[in-house]
Amino acid sequence: MSTTESRATGVETPAPFAGTFPDDFLWGTATAAYQIEGAAAEGGRGPSIWDTLSRVPGAVQGGDTGDVACDHYHRWAEDVDHLDRLGVGGYRLSISWSRVQPGGSGPLNPEGVEFYRTLLDALRARGITPFVTLYHWDLPQELEDAGGWTNRDTAYAFAEYARAMATELGDRVEVWTTLNEPWCSAYLGYASGVHAPGRTEPASALAAVHHLNLAHGLAVQAIREVLPDARCSITLNLHVLRAATGSEADADAVRQIDGLANRVFLGPLLDGAYPADVLADTASVSDWSFVLDGDLEITRRPLDVLGVNYYSTTRVGRFSGEGQPVRADGHKTTAASPWVAADDVEFLPQPGPHTAMGWNVEPAGLTELLLDLHRAYPGLPLAVTENGASFTDEVVEDPALGIQRVHDLARVAYLRDHVAAVGEAIAAGADVRGYFAWSLMDNFEWAYGYSKRFGMLHVDYPTGERTWKDSAYWYARLARSGRLPAVYEAGPQD
Ligand code: IFM
């Protein structure tokens, strides 16, 4: 989504937001299996590509792995208590494919399936609606050994896994999200190589894009064959783009990155076609012959809701030829770029403030994104399935209350401003049904290991102890009232 596109579609200035959300608006929080579960070699779980990559020296900061993570596999009951205490109506979790089907195909692992069945039942018993993501980046290693997402068979294996989960877990799940952020799986996994499987092959990244889109469509079809009334979704991390200057060259850089980041997914998923300019821009890398007849009818399945993950905006320009292109996308650990066939596009530093990830804070981008999507796909309900911020946190004693505290007011302000941005989008007409804060608790932040904390609950990794940050108290007030609390309302005042 780009500013130029916004102008073209004539999105109006958002109406003022009165501070209160609709009664049926869903407040939730989100996590992902590899980031929190741990128990990597327990309960019959097989290895995934993140188990493998995290053992490659230098691939993950500090040599961290998800072997133990937040130990949610053992502490899940305590975590459900925290969710209950937060008062959230929804919880977005992901299933570890290699825990329920260790080889990525073939027999299920009953112990793994039982883990999720028990968790989902416990959530439902507390009135917390489960939103389940089937793939949050942890491909079973056996499938990667056979080519991973560059292999068309992986899409079919994914559909069979989805069918099996629909059969096993049935209506315990409110919304089935096929994929989380396929942009990351394809481009960070296969082009820049900073994510698993760590490959740096631009042509493979485009094949992965298509096979992920195909996997989504096949999975939706399989889920609905088992559960005709299932609600299905996909979560995208659409890029909100800004042009470096008003020049035509920079506008064209925005068009190009909008194609690679956004329209390469929205096109096949919602319009049934890959954009012609994306195919032309990437022609030097791939002829896209992996797109077979009939694929684009499969990728375009009616969605019940589109998940939107938003953190910051991205500023691009056409490389002027002076100096070296600057890549400020937060994933600079290798020289390779995720941006296939876009070597002459500069990624420019954004004005602050910035989070600990170096990402700029721009809540207006979220309003703009939701309104752009609403304009482009008017009948499609939206949900913000991730939004949050990493800041450096410190646990302190609160002698007056006799508890430990984390005064994360920067995170509270970030959440307040982005929740307000969602409110503004709704006030201006966008059909947004829910908001899931990322994340319930600090966790394994992929190539950054445990060095970045996004949680509303602080996790002390050596002991696994969870401590409510002030943002958790603040979010609990929001979730319980549907009214946007002020920053000073953060903390345990009640
Ligand atoms: O932690 C990740 C999550 O797994 C996917 N979306 C972005 C988050 C923050 O980087």
pLDDT tens digits along 97-113: 999 999 999 999 999 99
Atom of ligand 1 nearest to the CA of 439: 1
Below-70 pLDDT ranges, the chain: 1-15, 321-335, 494
Q: How confident is the model at residue 336, as a pLDDT?
A: 86
Q: Which residues line ligand 1 (CB under 6 A)?
A: 32, 35, 181, 309, 386, 438, 445, 454
Distance from the CA of 82 to the center of ligand 1, in angstroms?
21
* DSSP annotation string for 186-255: IIIHHTS-SSTT----HHHHHHHHHHHHHHHHHHHHHHHHH-TT-EEEEEE---EEEESSSSHHHHHHHH
Pocket test for ligand 1, best of 187, 312, 386, 444 (most atoms within 8 A of CB): 386
- Residue 227 tokens read as 């559960």
**Nearest protein CA to atom 4 of ligand 1, as residue:** 32
- In the block, tokens 């969602």 appear at 422
pLDDT at 331: 42
- Distance (angstroms) between ligand 1 centre and the Cα of 486 equals 26
pLDDT of residue 490: 87
pLDDT of residue 1: 62
Distance 442 CA to ligand 1 centre (A): 11
Neighbour-count burial of 351, counting CB atoms closer than 10 A to its CB (0-12 exposed, 13-18 middle, 19+ buried): exposed
CATH superfamily of 25-480: Glycosidases (3.20.20.80)
Mutation pick for ligand 1 pocket among 239, 446, 452 (CB with most ligand atoms within 8 Å)? 446
CA of 309 to the centre of ligand 1 (A): 9
| Rounded Cα gap, residues 7 and 243, in angstroms | 13
Domain coordinates in residue numbering, the chain: 25-480
Which of the residues are catalytic? 181, 386
For the segment 339-375, what is each residue's pLDDT rounded down to a tens digit? 999 999 999 999 999 999 999 999 999 999 999 999 9
DSSP E strand boundaries for 191-337: 231-236, 240-243, 305-309, 313-318
CB contact at 8 A, 305 and 233: yes
**pLDDT at position 489, please?**
87
**CA–centroid distance, residue 195 to ligand 1 (Å):** 12
Query: Which amino acid residue places its CA nearest to atom 2 of ligand 1?
Result: 445
Ligand 1 atom index nearest CA of 386: 6
